[in-house]
Amino acid sequence: MKVTVVGAGAVGATCADNIARKELASELVLLDIKEGVAEGKSIDMMQTAALLGFDTKIKGVTNDYAATAGSDVVVITSGLPRKPGMTREELIGVNAGIVKSVTENILKYSPDTILIVVSNPMDTMNYLTLQTSGLPKHRVLGMGGALDSARFRYYLSQELGCSPADLNAVVVGGHGDTTMIPLIKHATWGSTPVTNFLSEEQQAKIVADTMVGGATLTKLIGTSAWYAPGAGTAAMVESILRDEKKIISCGVALDGEYGQKDISLVVPVTLGRNGWEKIIDFKLSDAEQAAFNKSADAVRTMNDVLKTL
């Protein structure tokens, strides 16, 4: 198997490191626009192979898309973070051009690949990729839900005093502080609803903390997170390449599911060798569905910016 990660920043490099350590691919290409960055980080990672015992071959390149030819999965992390004073519309305008260019160049050499979009704003960038790539919808996925669900499980584990690995909990909706919906009524510890162990106040706090999970880290460290986003992306790659059929929340194209069409939103799906293979219907309550519809409206407002570019 061959995997390409476009963007050798903190998230892209962390994703690549996770993929290499787990030997998910025999060949891994790290591509960046800045001269020397991908090359240097790939050499640094390769020098850990003797210590960690993996055999994945990592190659770093600068804008050499020919090196990505034949990739089974391509992760797109390219794009600029939102800067002080920058509107969301301005961010979309900048990153839309970057993501579209990356997608076009990747497909020249890997027309049968599966694309995982990490670039922000993720819902809109994934929708753009869906609209412009020409790929079947099952082969284009957004990463944000895997990250948000991991954060949800973290906050649940802190309140319950248990291992996050023993929890099943998913986030749906948009990948944003005001658009994501942690489905706490559907979360379980083992096979038991977590609501059996938590007061209404505890539940509300967990949901609120999850929704601002990204902003909390940005405030603490002065920049966006990278360990969990990188690991979340690598988990998606693993389920795809190993055909694990794991249920992971991902940004996907909806065509009537969850009451929405012509939009990319985060919902739980099974991930296997063909990309996302099945959308899992969680049978939302009226209140949850109303929140999902509100989230969709907010994401559509951002998607409308694409029409002005």
Give the Cα-Cα-Cα angle 128, 120, 89 (nearest 5 degrees): 75
Over the range 62-90, which residues count as b (16 or more CB within 10 Å of their CB) and which as e? eeebebbeebbbbbbbbbeebeeeeeeee
CA distance 309 to 297: 20
| Whole-number Å distance between alpha carbons of 224 and 204 | 24
Q: Report yes or no: 250 and 146 within 8 Å, Cβ to Cβ.
A: yes
Which residues, in sequence order, are CB contacts of 290 under 8 Å at separation 6+?
A: none
Q: How many Cβ atoms from other residues are within 10 Å of residue 160's Cβ? A: 17
Q: How many CA atoms, within 13 angstroms, populate the side-chain half-sphere of residue 32?
A: 21
Question: Is residue 65 within 8 Å of residue 94, measured between CB atoms?
Answer: no
**Active-site entry in 2, 100, 153, 175:** 175
* Residue 138 among the catalytic residues: no
Question: Dihedral angle at the C-alpha atoms of 298, 119, 117, 2, nearest 10 degrees?
Answer: -170
Active site residues: 175
